[in-house]
Amino acid sequence: MKIEQLYTSCLAQGAYYISSDGEAAIIDPLRESQQYVDKAEDDKVKIKYVFETHFHADFVSGHVDLARKTNSTIVFGPSAKTDYSCHIAKDQEEFTIGKIKIRAIHTPGHTPESTTYLLIDENGNNHAIFTGDTLFVGDVGRPDLAVANNITEDELARTLYDSLRNKIMTLEDNVLIYPAHGAGSACGKNMSSETFSTLGEQKKINYALRDNMTKAEFVKELLEGMPPPPSYFKQNALLNKNGYNNFDDVLAKSNKALTIDEFKDHMISKNSLVIDVRNQNEFIKKHIPNSLFVGLNGSFATWVGTIIKDIHRPIILIVEKGKEEEAITRLARVGCDNCFGYLDGGISTWEKSGNPTSDLEFISANNFVEMLKLNTINILDVRKESEFETQHIESSINSPLSQVHENLDLINTNEKLYVHCGSGYRSVIAISILKANGFDNLIDISGGYNAIKKTNLNENCYRSGLIISN
């Protein structure tokens, strides 16, 4: 028996490859399915099943393409309905892979169809559970992402309480837990950076599995402080439910070098969004006016899906040479299939063709803090609310990056605006959004709040009350 966790950091997502005696199963695969085909061929095994724990909202799964390529069977849990061929498992139904078995345990709550898969080893022992978004390390899945419109988050939260206590917590403490996500995913609010655990350990440390916790207490703690889901989540869930374009076709269409004339035609006649995926320092120095910055060096796909609102909007790219396929693949992971290529030669081609460029004004953390000590200045903090509540600059306004579009009216346009996040990535995204919406006098604080805290002036700020800790 072989179990391999295939973890993708930019999505904080775990897919699983399981094989035994010539057969294999994949659980919650990524959009680009060829990697699983290659792995099975290397191991000389046949992929028999593709198990889906639920209709994922944060990424487009590769189940449809993978099943087509390998002639395998897609399995969903009870109550799932799809527009493509699959097997809807009954609660407690078992599937044989070589010498092991996978048992489908219906655990609704995150979504109505959410299902945990229990791996039973060659000796008949319960070995591991693949929990999807039902149970994470340190957290449980949010109950507000269901595709169905006739069920409330409160109802799902109550159902999740029952699933955890009646279906999962009754298993042995030594059973391994393999979740679909870890820290950084928006599918929960308190996930650990650890990507697997044991049920016994989670009973000790996970708030949601606390002894003597009432259903009312569970619902209150689960829903309290839950940020709104990214806008693309519902669109991705529908793609996973209804089907999507073949990834190989998407890649072939999108991985195309555009001439400067073709690139500008897409900008003008097709209203394509220009996304610059280079490092933020390169974008600060020089970029196409009104282009959107989302660097590949961060949670690229998640932020693109969150910010552009409509994943079907036409996209063209400014990308570092050699990174084109990576950018297109990561866009496709969140359903952004309408990428029509990238500018051949990048920003250099744009500039050499006589087109104007823009840059961003920035300030070092040291110089910013010096200014802060002497003046009341206009500051926008684009970190998450939880980060802001932990510690922030007294005079700053908080608008999380995911909500910048909705909070444009909070921004003072009459004076310079100093923008920061935690480390300098999200603030540049925010400034690119603001510039595209007509804002000027925007200044990026290099290195963000992390750099501010490291300045030798930081202690003076605490003493004067300029930095507030809660």
pLDDT digits (tens, 9 = 90+) for 391-450: 999 889 999 999 998 888 888 777 899 999 999 999 999 999 999 999 999 999 999 999
Between CA 309 and CA 232 the distance in angstroms is 6
Residues 347 and 367 occupy one common structural domain: no
Kindly report the average pLDDT of the chain as a whole number. Answer: 93
Residue 249 lies in a domain: yes
pLDDT at 461 over 60: no
Farthest-apart Cα atoms in the chain, separation: 72
Last residue of a domain, one of 206, 235, 264: 235
Compute CA distances 79 → 51, 90, 116, 293, 301, whole Å: 15, 9, 14, 40, 29
Q: Which amino acid belongs to residue 390?
A: T
Domain match, 109 and 151 both: yes
Spatial contact of 99 and 21, defined as CB atoms under 8 Å apart: yes
Of the CA atoms within 13 Å of residue 127, those in its CB half-sphere come to: 14
Q: Which of the listed residues 352, 374, 399 is the one where a domain comes to its end?
A: 352
| Same domain flag for 184 and 310 | no
| pLDDT of residue 207 exceeding 90 | yes
Q: Please tell me the predicted confidence (pLDDT) of residue 464.
A: 47
Give me the number of domains the chain comprises.
3
Residue 240 domain-assigned (yes or no)? no
Question: pLDDT per residue over 248-307, tens digit each?
Answer: 999 999 999 999 999 999 999 889 999 999 999 999 999 999 999 999 999 999 999 999
Q: Pairing state of beta strands 23-27 and 467-469?
A: unpaired
Which of 194, 213, 235 is where one domain is finished? 235
325-328-329-332 Cα dihedral, nearest 10 degrees: -160
Regarding whether 264 and 182 lie in a shared domain, the answer is no
Over 70: is that where the pLDDT of 182 sits? Answer: yes
Which two structure tokens, joined as six digits, stand for 257?
């070098």
Give every CB contact of residue 284 below 8 A, 6+ residues apart in sequence.
Answer: 359, 360, 362, 428, 444
Averaged over 2-16, what is the pLDDT?
A: 95
Q: Is residue 14 part of a domain?
A: yes
Q: Do 129 and 14 fall into the same domain?
A: yes
Do 131 and 84 lie in one domain? The reply is yes
CATH of the domain at 288: 3.40.250.10
The Cα–Cα gap between 39 and 168 comes to 31
343 contact partners, CB below 8 Å, separation of at least 6: 257, 258, 260, 263, 316, 317, 318, 349, 350
> Do 313 and 426 fall within a single domain?
no
pLDDT in tens, 42-82: 999 999 999 999 999 999 999 999 999 999 999 999 999 99
- What phi and psi, each to the nearest 5 degrees, are found at residue 89? -75, 150
Q: In terms of domains, do 211 and 300 share one?
A: no
pLDDT at 467: 64
Looking at the structure, do residues 330 and 382 belong to the same domain, yes or no? no
Q: How many residues does the chain have?
A: 470
Q: Within this chain, do residues 81 and 176 fall inside the same structural domain, yes or no?
A: yes
Same domain assignment for residues 145 and 215: yes
| CATH, residue 167 | 3.60.15.10
Do 263 and 336 have their domain in common?
Answer: yes
Q: Which two tokens stand for residue 89?
A: 């498992």
Rounded distance, CA 432 to CA 426, Å? 10
Residue-range definition of the domain harbouring residue 308: 245-352
Residue 278 in domain: yes
**Cα separation, 26 vs 64, whole angstroms:** 12
Say how many Å lie between the first and final Cα of the chain, rounded. 49
Per residue in 99-156, pLDDT (tens digit) is 999 999 999 999 999 999 999 999 999 999 999 999 999 999 999 987 766 889 999 9
